[in-house]
Amino acid sequence: MTSEKAWRADVYVALKAGVNDPQGLAVRDGLHRLGYDEVSQVRVGRYIQVWLEAPDEEAAAARVREMCERLLANPVIEEYRFHVVRA
């Protein structure tokens, strides 16, 4: 019986290029009001940390990819990347 190990996945979810980003626009306007005129664009996404058990890194990554596809990211408008480390 393989022993289960603890892993942490750091998942980064961002809007696909070309998708309207009202939150990014609001943050950019806020930065401009604070005097950061050198900022040309802002895009806001999600940074999700998931702690899970899995026998090895490959198994952990496979499950995290499934979680991204089914819940953590909206495949229509978002793209994601992640990496897995021992917790």
- What are the structure tokens assigned to 39, written together? 């900022």
Indicate whether 36 belongs to the interface with its own copies (CB under 8 A). Answer: yes
Q: Give the separation between CA 85 and CA 87, rounded to whole angstroms.
A: 6
Cα dihedral 12→73→49→45 (10° resolution)? 40
Indicate whether 31 belongs to the interface with its own copies (CB under 8 A). Answer: yes
Which listed residue (17, 20, 22, 67) binds its own copies by CB under 8 A?
A: 67
The count of other CB atoms within 10 Å of the CB of residue 58 is 10
Please name the amino acid found at residue 72.
Answer: L
Which listed residue (16, 30, 58, 83) binds its own copies by CB under 8 A?
A: 30
Cβ distance to its own copies smaller for residue 2 or 38:
38
Binding site for its own copies (CB under 8 A): 4, 6, 12-14, 27, 30-31, 34, 36, 38-54, 63, 66-67, 70-72
